[in-house]
Amino acid sequence: MTLDEHSIQGLRNVPPTLQGGVLTIGNFDGVHVGHRRILGCCRELADELGAPVVAMTFEPPPDLVLRPNDVPQRLTPPEPKAQLLVQAGADRVVFVTADDALLSQTPEEFLDAVILRRFAPRHIVEGRDFCFGCRRQGNLATLRDAGRHAGFEVHTVDPVAMELDGRPQRVSSSLIRGLISAGRVEDAARCLGRPFTLYGRVVAGAGQGRLLRFPTANLEVDGQIVPPDGVYAGRAAVGDRVHPAAISIGNKPTFGPSPRTIEAFLLDVSADAANRELNLYDRRLALEFVRRLRDQERFDGLDALRAQIERDVQRVREICG
């Protein structure tokens, strides 16, 4: 099973075989437990029909077009998002270009040109706050009225609530972004249904980790929200290999002023093995954040810093080993 088998780029490439199934539309940023509830409902309906589940999403996200100066950072890049949607129950993920032409369509135009012409669904499943069309003028009532004439049924799924800060809160992508921004990666994981993960490319670092005998993989990310500075217990996935990892985010205060970096020490992987067997440089790496361990600190010399890293690594081994 590969991503290419399940993702479709653009409405023009939607095959006729996807018509007559179950459709859900949304940004699905993070593919959190609320999204997974929607996909689970889709899956049940589709299995009864013997029809496909199609998740239609947008790339770039509509906010990038509508509010280019105030765009929320992503929880999940497009490729991992497609994989997560398939894992949640979708048979195909259709990425639609969110441009001015699409976003200026009235609800009626969107229904005709996108929903009916491209998908002709038997069922549409959405959350209770679903809106569509120019200025979000279309809503579930608009959708149900169209369904009565076009022959599709609309199903609504209640949001998922989590007990946070002593009260139930509705799980949403915005809530999860706030949790991650506060370093609350364990609460974010509850809302996501899995650890928050950064995806990026391994780039060359300054070599300070090697000097400390803890060589790290430095991660370059693009557009994803990044947890605040600190040290975290997590896991690093490279290809089909997963390693417990001590993750550090910050500007390395012990070494003086330096750029903010995201780096991970992969436990039980020596520097030689990392270079020879894993060949990390320029490879894609996924970093899961399991628990926040501590803030960044400035230490009086390399020996003190090395001793603290050894303690951090031991905690990572206990949590993630």
- Residue % of the chain over a pLDDT of 70: 92
**CA 264 and chain centroid, separation:** 19
Tell me how far apart the alpha carbons of residues 7 and 215 are, in angstroms, rounded to a whole number: 36
The structural domains of the chain, ordered by start, are 3-159 (3.40.50.620), 160-194 (no CATH), 196-320 (2.40.30.30)
Query: pLDDT by residue (tens digit) across 188-202?
Result: 999 999 999 999 999
C-alpha closest to that of 30 among 190, 162, 156: 190
Query: pLDDT by residue (tens digit) across 65-109?
Result: 888 787 779 999 999 999 999 999 999 999 999 999 999 999 999
Query: pLDDT by residue (tens digit) across 276-291?
Result: 445 677 889 999 999 9
Q: Confirm if 106 and 18 have CB atoms less than 8 A apart.
A: no
Q: At what angle do helices 173-181 and 185-192 cross, to 10 degrees?
A: 160
pTM, to two decimals: 0.92
Query: pLDDT by residue (tens digit) across 244-303?
Result: 999 999 987 766 677 889 999 999 875 444 444 456 778 899 999 999 999 998 888 778
- Write the CA distances from 210 to 141, 150, 315, integer angstroms: 60, 64, 20
